[in-house]
Amino acid sequence: MNLTDTHCHLDLNKFDTDRDAVIQRAIDTGLTRILIPALTLDSSRAAVKLAGTHPMLYAAIGVHPNDALTWNDETLAGLRKLASASKKIAAIGEIGLDYYWNDAPHDLQQKILKEQLVLAEELNLPVVIHLREKNDAEHGECASDLMEILDEWAGRSKSGKEAPGVLHSFSGSLETAQRALRLGFYIGVTGPSYET
């Protein structure tokens, strides 16, 4: 059986002292692939660079909703340039909406999410979607906004991909999960995380 870790931020500085050991432990447990999702254009570059160092590593490129304020006129072109220069990019992500933190206005998060969904379509890549409600509620405005955007995107998508992506670390409502599943998304379920 081939197992993949679809969400491991191995590019973070906290792994600088033991990254090779972490990768070896992953291999020892049976993992065959690790996807390194990005948070910004700079971390997209770092993820792609790191993915090039080991055959089991792959990168996802994109801008996280909490880092939406880093988005500028050059970001999309920078992501396209990365994608054209590397065969190790397996997804667009980590993208989505986060209304828990007040790091970026909701309308800006929505705008860059839509632009990155178009990029995923252009590149025929799946997406890694982040969704976090205000107060970690099970359902609310964030899920409603996200599903409206994904419904519209999936409705016009011509890719025919088996799965357009994954809603990672999902903790939303059954209704949101069912809507995502109807669109073909996978649902990633992980343990709870606090104040991260």
Residues 23-67: tens digit of each pLDDT: 999 999 999 999 999 999 999 999 999 999 999 999 999 999 999
Q: What's the rounded Cα separation, in Å, for the pair 33 and 114?
A: 28
- Tell me what pLDDT residue 189 has: 79
Tell me what the mean pLDDT of segment 102-118 comes to: 97
Whether the per-residue pLDDT at 192 is higher than 90: the answer is no
Q: Tell me the pLDDT band of 2, cut-offs 50, 70 and 90.
A: confident
Query: What is the average pLDDT score of the chain?
Result: 91
Long-range CB contacts for residues 24-33, cutoff 8 Å, separation at least 24: 26/56, 27/56, 29/3, 30/1, 30/3, 31/3, 31/4, 31/5, 31/56, 32/2, 32/3, 32/4, 32/56, 33/2, 33/3, 33/4, 33/5, 33/57, 33/58
Is 194 a domain residue? Answer: no
Q: Tell me the pLDDT band of 159, cut-offs 50, 70 and 90.
A: low
Is 192 a domain residue? Answer: no
Whether the per-residue pLDDT at 119 is higher than 90: the answer is yes
pLDDT in tens, 4-30: 898 999 999 999 999 999 999 999 999
The CATH number that applies at residue 9 is 3.20.20.140
Is 174 a domain residue? Answer: yes
- Tell me what pLDDT residue 155 has: 81
- Tell me what pLDDT residue 173 has: 87
- Tell me what pLDDT residue 156 has: 78
- Tell me what pLDDT residue 140 has: 86
Is 168 a domain residue? Answer: yes
Write out the residue range of the structural domain in which residue 13 sits.
3-187
pTM of this structure? 0.91
Is 196 a domain residue? Answer: no
Q: What's the rounded Cα separation, in Å, for the pair 46 and 10?
A: 10
Number of domains into which the chain is organized: 1
Is 10 a domain residue? Answer: yes
Q: Which neighbouring-strand residues pair with 3?
A: 31
Helix %, strand %, coil % of the chain (to 5): 45, 20, 40
Tell me what the mean pLDDT of segment 96-115 comes to: 96
Of the ranges 24-28, 76-80, 167-171, 192-196, which one carries the lowest mean pLDDT score? 192-196
Is 72 a domain residue? Answer: yes
- Tell me what pLDDT residue 123 has: 94
Is 195 a domain residue? Answer: no
Tell me what the mean pLDDT of segment 140-157 comes to: 90
- Tell me what pLDDT residue 160 has: 62
Q: What's the rounded Cα separation, in Å, for the pair 96 and 87?
A: 24
